[in-house]
Structure 1
Amino acid sequence: MIDTPTLPPQNLCGKTAIVTGSSRGIGAGIAVDLARRGASVIINYVSTKSRQAAEGVLQNITSNGGSALLVQADISSIGGIQHLVEESVKFSLSKKIDIVVHNAAFGDDCYLEDITPEFYYKQTDTNLKGPIFLTQAILPHLPSHGGRIVLVSSISARMAFASQTVYAATKAGCEALCRCWAAALGKKYGATVNCVNPGPVATEMYWESDPEFLKSMEPIIDATPAAPRVGQVADIVPLVAVEMTTADAYTWTHEGGLQKGGLTCEGVISPPEKYRAPQDNIYDVIVIGAGYAGLTAARDLANMKHRVLMLEGRDRIGGRTFSLDIEGFRYEMGGTWVSHYQPHILAELRRYGLEKRLVATRQHGYQFDYYTLTTKDQQKQITHEEAASIFQSAWNKFINVDGHYCRKICPLPYQQMGNLMVSRKEVEKFDKLSCRDRYNQIKGELTAEESTMLLSQLLMISGGDLAESSLWDMIRVQALGGHNIDNFEDIWLLYKLKDGQSHLAKMIFDDAAENGLDYLFQTPVGRITDTSHHHGTVEVEVADGRIFYARRVICTVPLNVLKDIQFSPALTTKRQAAINQGHICFMTKIHAEANGSGLASWQGTAYPNDLLLGFGDGVTTQGNSHITAFGGKEHTLFNPNPDLGNIHKAFQSLHSMDIQRLVFHDWNSDRFSQGGPCWWIPGFMTQYQEELQARHGNVFFASADWADGWRAFIDGALEQGWKAAQEVARELQSIKPRTAKI
């Protein structure tokens, strides 16, 4: 077993949750799981009789480092509801109630002939009146976006049990409440409403049921597809407790301070596991990693009817790109912009009908519609057109290494290392040079403004020091952009997906899942063993010691993370040297929400500064400016934790602003990325790229980090995933021709 520590996903940190009827049974299980995921939980119980059980739930939570509060309140009464809400708001650090789980229920059986008004009102007051008026009471305390309301109903709502006239009616009513509230509260409060309908679950309430009712359950239990048994609390809890929030990313506000995780992300997969091993216990393919390379490979192979298992260490898809929804506004945390110059991303957008669902980053017409150019001595306001002219002049002097703006040295950017127009030896000469080497060659031709603009852009793009940044990588992106810097902004920083990168990733994932993809999230891989020379399979061992088997493996782990996986047989000396070297991009991307809309049209550069480039990137739902900013190799902002003082200072150096919110992810300390988008040192491409792309026995490698074309971009990941899937599919077709359908 691999010695890799695993922790429960802390994806509800900073959230406050009320779970009614949580002293025992399903409610207790939900309360414990919400707390395990980082939420502060209100454990609600109704009487002194159930206090001891509630205290046991509290002890369970607090002894494991969780936060919880006991509140005795009868939700069948308005007074009890008011008390529960008041105590919950006092307990909440944010003074918000993020999650309400309506679990409390009165479920005694009674035949129609024996129903009394007292019995009727006891059930309806708890099962319907309680949820209605508790939900009404918490509406003023919901967060402005991302609140969660869950009703625990029952299969009794849809089945005929003679002794459950009132109970079945109330549970059917819960379904109706869910439908009504989903429509009413979604747009107005940004909240989701869901309903869970458990079947027979082994709780005290279930075993206290009428004997005739228990007997009527036996055929239902026997016919349960998953297993012919009574359900357990653990079967139900994940359906309620898992929220579509990720453990990744930080937010800061004046009111809430710095918080990690707990942010809404469409890319979070729930439940995190769905797999049933093949009959012979051997998958056709295991895909490691659910970034764009892994998603594309898994989707293509699953669509060919191969048995595919995806393993991912995170709680979400997307790898080094994901979208967060905060108070109705979307933040792109990693790879963001798309272009028609990128063939693979364009193909995916067309495939899913998203090619026209784009939005532009830059919007003119707001108050500060200008560019600030900041040096160590002064800050100067210029027009956007003047700034573009300065940068283009500087870039053209820097990049024109062959007198033809790289058309001679890199005419075919998808065949960089030698083609019919240029020899490999000629490429190797340029690949040895660093950005510092080239800057020193042309710095005498630059004005002070051109030098400031060029240095800030080079450092931001590469995420490393100039001396360790490959000049060839700059030549490559020049060629990919049509050998024309006029296309730079359109390709790099203009067009975004209206629905977010996580939405596209989810469409690819859903495509694969609909075609039988098995998957496990929050499941890091520790060892890959190719036993094909003995047993014809590859073994993949995950952190908890489980081992999965496949005929082929596609590993999409980033370059800087490959060192954390053990390979047997050992990787080649050359590949291991490339892994030990790694890439040098440790850039920073930080979002700020600045008071007022004035900065939505602003753009600026500052050098030297921890943040080198910033620009208006839309207006939030609060009417404030959304600013996106990038820094180069700026470990000072995360040392090792976010340094809020330096972050605020860096933004003010770009332009004065009243920051209301910060949103960011520390990609450099993230164990599954250990850096930003890939940028190589001089000589790395001609020495290592072909080796990184090569297979290792029956293990294939696919990553944007060694793509042929748009390396370090989403398009490069898609390219590599598609390429690996095609290669593996061809081999599987010869191994198992009767099941592989291409």
Structure 2
Amino acid sequence: MSKSSEGFTWTPTQGYKFGLRTQAVVPSTPESDLSSEYDIIVIGAGYAGLAAARDLAFAGKKVLLIEARDRIGGRAFSAETDDGNILEIGGGWVHWLQPHVFSELTKYGLHDFVETKSMPEGCEVFSKPSRETPAAAQSSTDAEKFFGEMEALMTEFYNIDGRGGRTVVPFPFNTTKSMASNPEYGNIDDLSIKSRVEQLTQLTDEQRHALMEHAASFFGIPPDRVAFTEVLRTFALCNFSSSMIEEATMKWKIAKGTTALALAILEDFKGDRIFSAPVRSISQGEGSYPVTVTLESGKQLRSRFTISTIPWNVLPSIQFQPALSPTLQDALAKGTIAARTDKLLVATAAELPNGFNISCEGGDMPFASGFADGKHGKDTLFTLLTHPNINLDKSDENLRLVESLHPDGLKVTSAWAHLWSKDRFAGGVMPIRQAGFLKKYYHEVRKPHGRVYFCGSDFANGWRGFMSGAFEDAYRVTREVLNSDA
């Protein structure tokens, strides 16, 4: 099996080995078979790019797929260990409440799933906020009480309209229609998580602090930097049910791995493809093929239309001629903040039949939280969410801290990660919209830039930042391009 240059494996005895085995590494079209001119160039072989390229080729268009990485899948790919276990290195959880990805899974017969139980009944629950303090056990009863109290606080948080937010986001997959349905939507979007919590004057200071931290924890960003509507939209997507949020976002993984889905789509794509080919610039001129895509290698390719699925956080690094609109440039510079929480997967020989859940917030630990995530062969697999800028790919000390997360110790056998926070082709996990984004930028960022269309999970209305959002937006932009080319 091929090996991507991305990610690393770490063991206590051998240290770091860089690169991960994955079926996501596939060959490019031979240079001699490439054309210099295409109907449509699709930049990015993540799920939006794969789906758009597939569907445009189905429609009879001559399509070239260009990818900066050495693999398909974008910010969601699965690696395989020597013993055949599958690891989700990026995004991995799916649910039938995420309709667009579930439709694709059904299309390709990927019906089997692996369940994540981050806090099963009777789960062992711990906290360890600092390196120097030992992990402290919490009773499952206390944990259940805390989450019950937090759910009640979140219910008040969402209830900005007296209807649990239902009149604010009546159409979570159609932001334009929601805004038209409720003229106050734009004003509500002016609120950050912090300013919304401050409106709840009936709460104690302690409750407000806990609520702010909890509401922002999904993004790993300070509560004054996240729009209240970012949280409310997720709540709406989960049928306005707090209990469904974890179910819909962190419960089911594809048994064969996310890469199985990406490969199935690629198999259906009838066009050319180039990998390890970062784009430097996109320019537009005259003629039958007016869009020129220039690679960092200097190679130029031309098309009648181009779809960019380059992640939002990376777009400012691309040269556009003519320049992007001032509003779009402002949105890229000021409208969002990059989520930079990384994910570390750890195999341990510890037997934890009742599950395991830990919080490490509030101190100097490199980890934010973690939980037992099923079996990895004979071992137990942990998923740990980590803070950025902690040199997880260079610090044995930080990785060995995993052993201290349980009072009895955890014998680590292996660890794996790819640091999206350092990834030049991702710029973090996803962009999080700040307060006021909708009124200032929403309509502008979804417009084409001449013959260049922006597409991807970062632009989706619904499950933005998820694979389902990638498919949702691919369907939209594919339709728009075909209509323009009619």
Q: TM-score, normalised by structure 2?
A: 0.90
Post-superposition offset of 1:584: 2.7
Matched AA of 2:259: S
Cα pair distance change 1:362/1:324, threshold 3 Å: same
Q: Distance in 2 between matches of 1:589 and 1:421?
A: 38
Q: Distance in 1 between matches of 2:359 and 2:149?
A: 12
- 1:399 is aligned to 2:151: no
Paired position in structure 2 for 1:409: 168
Matched AA of 2:236: A
Q: Distance in 1 between matches of 2:390 and 2:48?
A: 30
- 1:497 is aligned to 2:254: yes
Post-superposition offset of 1:399: 2.4
- 1:245 is aligned to 2:7: no
Q: Distance in 2 between matches of 1:491 and 1:667?
A: 22
- 1:524 is aligned to 2:281: no
Post-superposition offset of 1:283: 0.6
Paired position in structure 2 for 1:542: 295
Post-superposition offset of 1:698: 0.6
Paired position in structure 2 for 1:573: 326
Paired position in structure 2 for 1:604: 358
Matched AA of 2:94: V
CA contact (8 A) 1:600 1:616 kept: no
Paired position in structure 1 for 2:482: 729
CA contact (8 A) 1:595 1:625 kept: yes
Post-superposition offset of 1:689: 2.3
Post-superposition offset of 1:528: 0.7
Q: Distance in 2 between matches of 1:559 and 1:518?
A: 25
- SS in structure 2 opposite 1:487? helix
Matched AA of 2:390: L
**Bigger share in helix:** 1
Cα pair distance change 1:536/1:310, threshold 3 Å: closer
Post-superposition offset of 1:611: 2.4
Q: Distance in 1 between matches of 2:411 and 2:342?
A: 21
Post-superposition offset of 1:428: 1.7
Paired position in structure 2 for 1:318: 73
- 1:643 is aligned to 2:395: yes
Cα pair distance change 1:403/1:599, threshold 3 Å: farther
CA contact (8 A) 1:411 1:421 kept: no
Cα pair distance change 1:364/1:422, threshold 3 Å: closer
Paired position in structure 1 for 2:24: 267
Q: Distance in 1 between matches of 2:32 and 2:99?
A: 33
Q: Distance in 2 between matches of 1:608 and 1:402?
A: 33
Kindly name which structure, 1 or 2, has the bigger radius of gyration based on alpha carbons: 1
What stretches of structure 1 of length at least 5 have no aligned partner? 1-242, 735-742
Q: Distance in 2 between matches of 1:597 and 1:329?
A: 18
Paired position in structure 2 for 1:719: 472
Stretch deviating more after TM superposition (602-611 or 555-564): 602-611
Paired position in structure 2 for 1:422: 181
Q: Distance in 1 between matches of 2:196 and 2:178?
A: 24
Q: Distance in 2 between matches of 1:564 and 1:446?
A: 45
Q: Distance in 2 between matches of 1:636 and 1:586?
A: 9
**Bigger share in strand:** 2
Cα pair distance change 1:450/1:624, threshold 3 Å: farther
CA contact (8 A) 2:313 2:430 kept: no
Matched AA of 1:604: I
CA contact (8 A) 2:169 2:178 kept: no
- SS in structure 2 opposite 1:576? helix
- 1:342 is aligned to 2:98: yes
- SS in structure 2 opposite 1:679? strand
Post-superposition offset of 1:267: 0.9
CA contact (8 A) 2:12 2:412 kept: no
Stretch deviating more after TM superposition (369-378 or 666-675): 369-378
Q: Distance in 2 between matches of 1:566 and 1:644?
A: 38
Cα pair distance change 1:350/1:447, threshold 3 Å: farther
- SS in structure 2 opposite 1:612? strand
CA contact (8 A) 1:591 1:627 kept: yes
CA contact (8 A) 2:94 2:248 kept: yes
Matched AA of 1:285: I
CA contact (8 A) 1:605 1:654 kept: no
Matched AA of 1:380: Q
Q: CA RMSD in A?
A: 2.7
What stretches of structure 2 of length at least 5 have no aligned partner? none
Mapping for residues 104-123 of structure 1, pairs under 5 Å: none
- 1:702 is aligned to 2:460: no
Q: Distance in 2 between matches of 1:674 and 1:605?
A: 26
Cα pair distance change 1:447/1:371, threshold 3 Å: farther
Paired position in structure 2 for 1:618: 374
Paired position in structure 2 for 1:474: 231
- SS in structure 2 opposite 1:527? strand
CA contact (8 A) 1:272 1:315 kept: no
Q: Distance in 1 between matches of 2:379 and 2:285?
A: 57
Stretch deviating more after TM superposition (434-443 or 572-581): 434-443
- 1:509 is aligned to 2:241: no
Q: Deviations over 1:536-580 (max 9, x none)?
A: 421111111111111110000011101111111111111111222
- 1:586 is aligned to 2:340: yes
Q: Distance in 2 between matches of 1:270 and 1:583?
A: 34
- 1:380 is aligned to 2:380: no
Cα pair distance change 1:450/1:583, threshold 3 Å: closer
Aligned residues: 476
Determine which of 668, 675, 695 is the counterpart of 2:428.
675
Q: Distance in 2 between matches of 1:329 and 1:373?
A: 29
- SS in structure 1 opposite 2:343? strand
Cα pair distance change 1:338/1:701, threshold 3 Å: same
CA contact (8 A) 1:322 1:501 kept: yes
Q: TM-score, normalised by structure 1?
A: 0.60
Cα pair distance change 1:305/1:672, threshold 3 Å: same
Matched AA of 1:708: N
Paired position in structure 2 for 1:201: none
Matched AA of 2:50: L
- 1:362 is aligned to 2:121: no
Paired position in structure 1 for 2:42: 287
Cα pair distance change 1:298/1:443, threshold 3 Å: farther
Cα pair distance change 1:334/1:600, threshold 3 Å: farther
Paired position in structure 1 for 2:312: 559
- SS in structure 2 opposite 1:286? strand
Mapping for residues 46-445 of structure 1, pairs under 5 Å: 243-261=1-19, 263-271=20-28, 273=30, 276-278=33-35, 281-326=36-81, 327-354=83-110, 356-362=111-117, 369-372=123-126, 379-383=137-141, 385-386=144-145, 388-419=147-178, 422-424=181-183, 426-442=184-200, 445=203
Matched AA of 2:11: T
Q: Distance in 1 between matches of 2:213 and 2:188?
A: 22
Matched AA of 2:49: G
Cα pair distance change 1:554/1:604, threshold 3 Å: same
Q: Distance in 2 between matches of 1:590 and 1:535?
A: 48
